[in-house]
C-alpha cells in the first residue's frame, strides 16, 4: 500500500468517517459531562486530519486513508482517561475502536491494518499487533505532533500556565526556557521530508513569537 499513489480523496468515505467520529463523541457519557473536552478533541482531530492530508498529498500517500487516520487517531477519548496508563494506551484503544468501522467501509485488509497501526503507535510508538512501520503510519503521529505547535496553542499554553499572573522576571525565565526547549526539538525525527519541513516551520514560528516577546520584556524596564 505504501508505494501506491492515490491523490483523489473519496469524499463519501470521508463524510462517513466524520459522521462516525461525531456520533461516537455524541454517544460518549464522558463527553456529555465534559463538552469542552469534546469540542477540543473534535477540533484537534480535524486539524490533525488536515495536516495528514497535506503530508499525504506531498508524499504520494493515499489521501483518503490519511484523512481517515487523522480523524480517528484520538477516538478513544470518547472513554474517560483516568490514569497515565489510560492516556498512554489511547492510541491502541483507538485502533481497536476504529477497526470494525474501517472494515465496514469495505477497505482492503492491508489498508485497515496500516491505518490502525498508525493510530496505535501515535502515542508511544507501540502497537499491540504486528505490522510494518511505514512512513504512512508515522504520518499519524507526525501530524498530531505538528498540531501541538500552532498559533492558538500559544494562547492555550499561556492561559494554562497563568502567564499573565507571573512577575516580569518569572515571565522572562519561562520564555527563555521555552525557546531553549523549542530549539532542542528541531532534531526530532519524523517519517517524511514533508512532515519534517512542516515541523521546522511550526517551531520557527513559535521561536520567533517568543523571541519577540523577550525583546518586548527587555524594553520594559530600562532605556536601551
Kindly report the number of other CB atoms within 10 A of residue 112's CB atom: 20
CB of 53 closer than 8 Å to CB of 106 = no
34 & 125 share domain: yes
Question: Is residue 172 a part of any domain in this protein?
Answer: yes
Count of C-beta atoms within a 10 Å radius of residue 175: 18
pLDDT tens digits along 2-34:
445 556 899 999 999 999 999 999 999 999 999
Q: Is 218 helix (H, G, I), strand (E, B) or coil?
A: helix
Please indicate, yes or no, whether residues 131 and 153 belong to a single structural domain of this protein.
Answer: no
Residues 114 and 131 in one domain: yes
Residue 2 domain flag: no
CATH at 111: 1.10.3210.10
Tell me which residue of 136, 100, 101, 104 sits closest to 117, measured CA to CA.
136
CB contact burial 132-143 (16+ within 10 A = b; e otherwise): eebbbbbbbbbb
- 40 and 115 inside one domain: yes
Whether pLDDT at 184 is above 60: yes
- pLDDT tens by residue, 115-174: 999 999 999 999 999 999 999 999 999 999 999 998 999 999 999 999 999 999 999 999
Question: Which three cell numbers, joined as nine digits, stand for 195?
Answer: 512532515
Which of 17, 8, 120, 109 shows the shortest CA–CA distance to 53? 8
Task: Give domain status of residue 78, yes or no.
Answer: yes
Is 121 contained in some domain? yes
Is residue 223, in this structure, part of any structural domain at all?
A: no
Whether residue 124 is found in the same domain as residue 16: yes
Provide Rg for the chain, Cα atoms.
19
Give me the number of domains the chain comprises: 2
Measured distance CA(204)–CA(200) in Å, rounded: 6
> Which of 111, 139, 167 delimits the end of a domain?
139
| Nearby residues of 190 by Cβ (< 8 Å), 6 or more positions away | 138, 142, 145, 196, 199
Q: Is the pLDDT of residue 112 over 90?
A: yes
Question: Where a domain ends, among 139, 160, 182?
Answer: 139
Residues 135, 161 within the same domain: no
Q: Which residue has the cell 496500516?
A: 114
Q: Which of 147, 174, 146, 172 is nearest to 160 (CA)?
A: 174
On whether both 91 and 16 belong to a single domain, the answer is yes
**Residue 20 falls inside a structural domain:** yes
87 and 187 inside one domain = no
Using alpha carbons, list the distances in angstroms from residue 218 to 149, 172, 182, 211, 215: 25, 9, 20, 11, 5
In this predicted model, what pLDDT tens digit does every residue of 52-107 receive, in sequence order? Answer: 999 999 999 999 999 999 999 999 999 999 999 999 999 999 999 999 999 999 99
* 113, part of any domain: yes
The pLDDT value recorded for residue 106 is 95
Residue 5 lies in a domain: no
Q: What is the pTM of this model?
A: 0.92
Angle CA 204–208–211, to nearest 5: 135
Q: Of 27, 108, 113, 16, whose CA–CA distance to 68 is shortest?
A: 16
**Residue where a domain stops, chosen among 108, 139, 170:** 139
Domain shared by 77 and 95, yes or no:
yes
Same domain, 27 and 106: yes
My answer on whether 93 and 172 are in the same domain is no
Range of the domain at 30: 11-139
CB neighbours of residue 170 within 10 Å:
11
Q: Are residues 115 and 160 in the same domain?
A: no
Amino acid at each position: 500500500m505504501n508505494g501506491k499513489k492515490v491523490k483523489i480523496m473519496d469524499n463519501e468515505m470521508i463524510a462517513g468517517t466524520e459522521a462516525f467520529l461525531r456520533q461516537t463523541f455524541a454517544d460518549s457519557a464522558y463527553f456529555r459531562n465534559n463538552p469542552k473536552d469534546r469540542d477540543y478533541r473534535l477540533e484537534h482531530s480535524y486539524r490533525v486530519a488536515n495536516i495528514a492530508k497535506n503530508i499525504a498529498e506531498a508524499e504520494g500517500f493515499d489521501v483518503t486513508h490519511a484523512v481517515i487516520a487523522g480523524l480517528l487517531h484520538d477516538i478513544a477519548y470518547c472513554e474517560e482517561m483516568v490514569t497515565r496508563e489510560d492516556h498512554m494506551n489511547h492510541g491502541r484503544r483507538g485502533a481497536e475502536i476504529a477497526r470494525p468501522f474501517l472494515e465496514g467501509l469495505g477497505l482492503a485488509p492491508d489498508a485497515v491494518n496500516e491505518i490502525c497501526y498508525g493510530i496505535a503507535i501515535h502515542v508511544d510508538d507501540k502497537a499491540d499487533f504486528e505490522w510494518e512501520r511505514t512512513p504512512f503510519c508515522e504520518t499519524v503521529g507526525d501530524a498530531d505532533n505538528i498540531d501541538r505547535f500552532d498559533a492558538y496553542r500559544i494562547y492555550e499554553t499561556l492561559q494554562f500556565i497563568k502567564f499573565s499572573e507571573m512577575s516580569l522576571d518569572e515571565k522572562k525565565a519561562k520564555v527563555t526556557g521555552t525557546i531553549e526547549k523549542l530549539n532542542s526539538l528541531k532534531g526530532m525525527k519524523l517519517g517524511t521530508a514533508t512532515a519534517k519541513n512542516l515541523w521546522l516551520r511550526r517551531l520557527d514560528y513559535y521561536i520567533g513569537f517568543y523571541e519577540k516577546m523577550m525583546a518586548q520584556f527587555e524594553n520594559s524596564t530600562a532605556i536601551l
